[in-house]
Structure 1
Amino acid sequence: MSPTDPNEAVNHPAHYGGDTTYEAIKVIEAWGLGFTLGNAVKYICRAGAKGRRIEDLRKAAWYLQHEIERLEAGQVAACDNCGWVGGIAKVVDGKCPANCTLPLRYCAGVS
Structure 2
Amino acid sequence: MEKKYISKDSKELREKRDLLEKMKDILDPNVNHPTHYNKTGIEAIEGIKGSMDINEYRGFLKGNVLKYLWRYEYKLKPLEDLKKAKWYLDKLIESVEGENEK
Tell me the TM-score range normalised by the shorter chain: 0.3 to 0.5
Answer with 1 or 2: which has the greater Rg: 1
More helix as a share of residues: 2
Higher RCO (Cα < 8 Å, 6 or more apart): 2
- Give the TM-score normalised by structure 2: 0.40
More strand as a share of residues: 1
